[in-house]
Amino acid sequence: MSPDVLDSAPIDGEGTPTSGDGKPTGGTGAGTGGDSDVLDSAAAGGMIIRGGILRIAGYAGVVALSIISFILLARHLGVERFGEYTTVISLVSVVALVTDAGMSSLGTREYAVSHGAQRERLMRDLLGLRVVLTLAGVVLATLFALAAGYDPALLAGTVVAGLATVALVLGHTLSIPLSAELRLGTLSLLDLARQALTVAAIVVLVALGAGVFPLLAVTLVVYLLLIPVTALLVRGKISMRMELRPRQWVSLLRVTVAFSLATAVGTIYVYTAQILTSLVASTHQSGLFAASFRVFMVLATVPGLLVNGALPLLARAARDDRERLAYALQKIFEVSLILGVATALGLLAGAQFIIHLVAGPPFAGSAAVLRIQGLAMIPSFLIAAWGFGLISIRRYGSLLAANAGALAVSCILTLSLTASDGAQGAAIATVCGETALAAGLLVALVRGHPAFRPRLAIIPKVAFAAVPALAVALATDLSSLARALLSLAVFGLVIAATRAVPSEIAEMVPHPRLPRRAPSA
């Protein structure tokens, strides 16, 4: 998955971040007066680590809410209908990813550095461009639904879910002043409110026995409700009027085209796996893959959340101190490898428990799919590490090439393996796609920059910890939950014993202090 997954704009209620303005603005704009000193200081690493922890904590709150909707939707819709629902969500998510075109980051940056009439015209042009692009994407998604033979309810659901992305784009554009002014707490509350309202509506609709169309229409209603709230928060700072000036749109797109294509392609291929599975597999197999896919998407967002906080430091080091950049990338690689292996072990052992909890007995076959797909978490964490490294040195062309290769691998293998092996074939294709992307990013990163090549001393330590943890994960005389907890405990203890965790992380873990002995007389 692309390291820029945070800029995706999913339109369901199942836990993927919806804020499209989370990218750093390159050190320009509001609140940056002291950023230079902070980013150049020795304290920057610790601040980034603490910020990453806070972001994960906030994301955990969103996921906790999303689990409720996942449980209700899977049980209410059943295997086949849930697969169709997830396919529509994936389809319109692709539309949102393509039509965003990096505009969220561009808008935040330009809002911060422009003033007065110039800023107002720019924001109107930006809003017009984003709305037109998204509407065009909705038309394409509808045409795809027609060509794929969706039934009337799914076809109407595709249209209304697509229109929800238009409302989301409007809300994101209005929230640009909040991002530029670093009112991140307010942005987080808006995201949490969006998730809470969506889940509450799903609860009501499921209780009423609603079909797939009302469930897909929920997000449109919620996003429309939050637009006036967002407008009130930014009153007097940004206009809701849009301009239709194609010449200005060309200049806006020219600024972001290379970067946006790279990140969009890298995220699209993950959603494409679900869409292609629905075309070549049975509805039952598509439904089984959908349950595993939703779990994977929630977890695969975590690496980007963690590493995204380090991007300002990486960018500053790329400009001023390549030795510091190489050091930072090495530490990120070590932490990413540890966390990736730990997540893979947890899914291998706990897949049965997770699927039973969130989807229920009819989706029991999804457990085997999730065990396979869990292996993709190892390259997923490395993708975030190396992808943000490429972003920091502005190697967007290399990023695009690696992502395009991963897209090709994923599509070819999904079509071939899913046709013969169903949901498990699609899971294998996901693992291969993520692995291909990680390898491509690493090659692109070290080409011409041998100092960025990761040192591999960490690998024997991680492997030494993974072997006993894997034995526990594969034990057959324990429950799935017990195996997961014990496996992670064993892995963590051995990692700690071998001191594999970078010292910068280890020093932040609080240690109990022994009371001082009173001096003797």
190 shares its domain with 277: no
Residue 172: strand, helix, or coil = helix
Within-domain flag for 346: yes
Q: Is the pLDDT of residue 263 over 50?
A: yes
The arithmetic mean of pLDDT across residues 21-26, rounded, is 35
Q: What is the structure's pLDDT at 343?
A: 95
Q: Is the pLDDT of residue 238 over 70?
A: yes
Q: What is the structure's pLDDT at 382?
A: 94
Q: Is the pLDDT of residue 108 over 80?
A: no
What pTM was estimated for this model as a whole? 0.72
Q: What is the structure's pLDDT at 17?
A: 38
267 shares its domain with 416: yes
Looking at 179, 212, 244, the residue that finishes a domain is 244
pLDDT per position as a tens digit, 306-348: 776 666 667 777 877 888 888 889 989 999 999 999 999 999 9
Higher pLDDT among residues 17 and 461, named by residue = 461
Tally of domains in the chain: 2
In terms of Cα–Cα distance, which of 376, 370, 367 is closest to 433? Answer: 376
> Cβ distance 355 to 318 under 8 Å?
no
Give, to the nearest 10 degrees, the angle between helix 283-308 and helix 44-100.
140
Backbone dihedral angles phi then psi of residue 26, each to the nearest 5 degrees: 75, 20
Cα–Cα distance for residue pair 172/398, rounded to 1 Å: 29
The arithmetic mean of pLDDT across residues 238-261, rounded, is 72
Mean residue pLDDT of the chain comes to 80
Rg over alpha carbons for the chain, rounded to the nearest Å, is 23
Kindly list the distances between the CA atom of residue 260 and the CA atoms of 22, 38, 89, 95, in Å, as whole numbers in the listed order: 14, 28, 21, 13
Contacts of 386 (CB under 8 A, 6+ apart): 329, 333, 438, 441, 442, 445
Q: Which helix (H) or strand (E) holds 109?
A: helix 103-113
Q: What is the structure's pLDDT at 221?
A: 93
Within-domain flag for 320: yes
Within-domain flag for 387: yes
pLDDT per position as a tens digit, 114-132: 777 777 887 888 888 888 8
Percent of the chain with pLDDT over 70: 77
Within-domain flag for 220: yes
> What is the span of the domain harbouring residue 205?
11-244
239 shares its domain with 281: no
298 shares its domain with 216: no
In terms of Cα–Cα distance, which of 218, 193, 223 is closest to 204? Answer: 218
Q: What is the structure's pLDDT at 70?
A: 85
385 shares its domain with 486: yes
176 shares its domain with 262: no
Say which amino acid occupies 444: A
Looking at 222, 244, 266, the residue that finishes a domain is 244
